[in-house]
Amino acid sequence: MLVGLFLCVLAVEVGLGVCEDTGNMTALQNTSGPPLLLVSFDGFRADYLKKFNFPNLQKFFFSDGVVVEQLTNVFVTKTFPNHYSIVTGLYAESHGMLASTMYDPVTKKNFSIANDSDPFWWNEATPIWVSAQKQGYKTAAAMWPGTDVPIHNMTSTYYLRYDSKVTFQERVGNLTKRLTEDETVKFAVLYWEEPDHAGHLYGPDNTTEMGKVLKDVDNLIGFLVDKLNQSGLWGKMNVIITSDHGMTQCSKDRLIHLDKCIDSANYTSVYLTPVAAIIPLTNATQVYNALKDCHPNMKAYLQAEIPDRFHYRDNERIQPIILVADEGWTIVQEESHLRLGDHGYDNALPSMHPFLTAHGPAFKKGYRMSSLNIVDIYPLMCHLLHMEKMPNNGSFYNSHCLLVDERCTDLPEVIGIVIGVLMVLTTLTGLFVLMKNRTPSSSRPFARLELQDDDDDDPLLGDSSKILQWTSRWNQICITFLADETDRIALWGKNCCWLLGSYLFFAKETRSWIVLGAMKKNLTKSYLFFI
């Protein structure tokens, strides 16, 4: 129990937040909280932010909000899997939305973008709008994948059926109307097709054409902010802008012709490029052997051998053989259409990564984070809405530094403190045994540093005034010692001072407690622990 107490205090002091009681406030208990708007611009590659200018993003979000420079999305890096991961916090193998085209071997059903309204394909997970409505909120949606499908017998409260002809302005207008006219609408989602469409058409390396489209996207973001301002929502609601995937350049010089490796009569493909799902129609081993040696820029995996890091193996909708092309390569059959830009590749590739930015009362201003997982967005949104979250693959801790009310400590610092304290813990027992068993001597080299403490004092735990007084006094002794001595460890009486890297650890043994402290040498931070 004492060790658990020590770890709990350590976690709170360094900002891990694992010991706090959040109270699990439900939506019905917090209907007065700010609403949340989630916006996705399809195919917004993360490094577009470095290659092009976005004055509206810069002004309204980067300078006055937070930005995550890149998101690690889920495999395959396609639209439907990642949009469902954003709103469920699950990897594709867990939520079942594996690609934009699917085949279920049990029911013999087929899924496509044009045929996506069957709840069967969506019911393996519970998206956030369904959970929000079950917990007392209303929700609104404009074209976000799945919001018009009765998932677990429930669509979004207000939704627009998908129609690419509906303009961005109309979509925004519909949502702001719902948010202003019905104050119980606390969660809204908006989807826009660009810059994905242009990325496929021109390729991301065509900076002239992509520059035009991305300028239009930034103007749409400006329109969104203006509309929220006019509606009295800007600054009073939390807004997250993100994307599902990036884009990479393709060319006719990087084609993988399956027909040169195996007769098409021996297999059928559910989807083709850059990740192909293959169902053997003849001997499966022969089909696999022919495909695994087909091309040096393509890897073939049996379902059971798909790498763990893809989180793309344990679902019956994953076909017996998966082919994965290298970045920029396209898997084709005789009549395949070549795109100049494409996505769907390995999710470890930077070109496949999108970004995230956010603004609102919950978010810090001018804060930047280098990376985040796309599955971490879901627990973040649940936290913002004070919702009970469903089981998921994400972690709120990964994103908590984005928020105003969350203390944040850099991971290297946390690791350094934890390792240092654990090292002290493993050595203290032996050190104190040696000190207790040593022969008394009139000559004590560190006597000038000895505290005038009585070991019969009451334990310091729970008495903040004693803690502060004792810590201040002890800090000065450690500082004095380390400034005057060359040794890295000082022992005297039942006290210990230990210098480890840039951290100073100190300990005091009382009748029933060991009190540990840690601080940086520059005195910018200090921590106090009890065991």
pLDDT digits (tens, 9 = 90+) for 354-366: 999 999 999 999 9
Q: In this predicted model, which residue has the larger pLDDT, 451 or 350?
A: 350
What pLDDT shows up at residue 65? 98
- Which of 152, 140, 137 lies closest to 386 in space, CA to CA? 137
pLDDT band at 523 (very low <50, low <70, confident <90, very high): very low
Q: What is the DSSP letter of 61?
A: I
What's the first-to-final CA gap in the chain, in angstroms?
A: 9
Residue among 72, 77, 79, 139 flagged as catalytic? 79
pLDDT at 408: 82
Tell me the pairing of strands 158-160 and 138-142. parallel
Q: For the residues 424-446, what does the mean pLDDT come to?
A: 55
CATH homologous superfamily of 26-91+126-249+347-402 equals Alkaline Phosphatase, subunit A (3.40.720.10)
How many whole angstroms separate alpha carbon 94 and alpha carbon 62?
33
pLDDT digits (tens, 9 = 90+) for 205-251: 999 999 999 999 999 999 999 999 999 999 999 999 999 999 999 99
Report the predicted TM-score, pTM, of the whole model to 2 decimal places. 0.76
| % of the chain at pLDDT higher than 90 | 69
In angstroms, the CA 504 to CA 245 distance is 44
Determine contact, residues 130/113, Cβ cutoff 8 Å.
no
Please name the residue that has the structure tokens 């002004």.
59
Looking at the chain, the whole-number percentage of residues with pLDDT higher than 70 is: 71
Strand residues in 273-425 grouped as ranges (E): 275-280, 298-302, 321-325, 330-332, 341-342, 356-359, 367-373
CA 16 to chain centre: 16
Q: What pLDDT does 7 receive?
A: 41
Distance, in Å, from the CA atom of 282 to the CA atom of 285, rounded to the nearest integer, reads 9
79 is catalytic: yes
pLDDT at 401 over 70: yes
Spans of all domains in the chain = 26-91+126-249+347-402, 255-338, 411-530
Q: Please write the tens of the pLDDT for every residue from 79-99.
A: 999 999 999 999 999 999 999
User: Given the DSSP bridges, would you call strands 298-302 and 321-325 parallel, antiparallel or unpaired?
Assistant: antiparallel
Using DSSP's 3-state secondary structure scheme, residue 185 falls into strand
Which of 162, 156, 173 has the alpha carbon at shortest distance from 220?
A: 173
pLDDT(60) > 90: yes
pLDDT digits (tens, 9 = 90+) for 468-497: 454 555 555 555 444 444 444 444 445 566
Q: What are phi and psi of 254, to 5 degrees?
A: -125, 70
319: its two tokens: 């076909």
Q: Greater confidence, 61 or 526?
A: 61
Pairing of strands 255-257, 330-332: parallel
pLDDT at 503: 59
- 408 Cα distance to chain centroid: 15
Cβ atoms of 388 and 130 within 8 Å: the answer is: no
Q: Which residue has the higher pLDDT, 441 or 405?
A: 405
The CATH T-level fold of domain 255-338 is: Gyrase A; domain 2 (3.30.1360)
pLDDT above 50 for 456: no
Strands (E), 83-167: 102-103, 110-111, 138-142, 158-160
SS3 at position 109: coil
Specify the pLDDT at position 459: 38
Q: What's residue 457's pLDDT?
A: 40
pLDDT at 445 over 70: no
pLDDT band at 369 (very low <50, low <70, confident <90, very high): very high
Which strand (E) or helix (H) includes residue 151?
none
Tens digit of pLDDT for each residue in 285-332? 999 999 999 999 999 999 999 999 999 999 999 999 999 999 999 999
pLDDT band for 334, please (50, 70, 90 cuts): confident
Mean pLDDT, rounded, for 122-126: 99
- The pLDDT of residue 15: 39
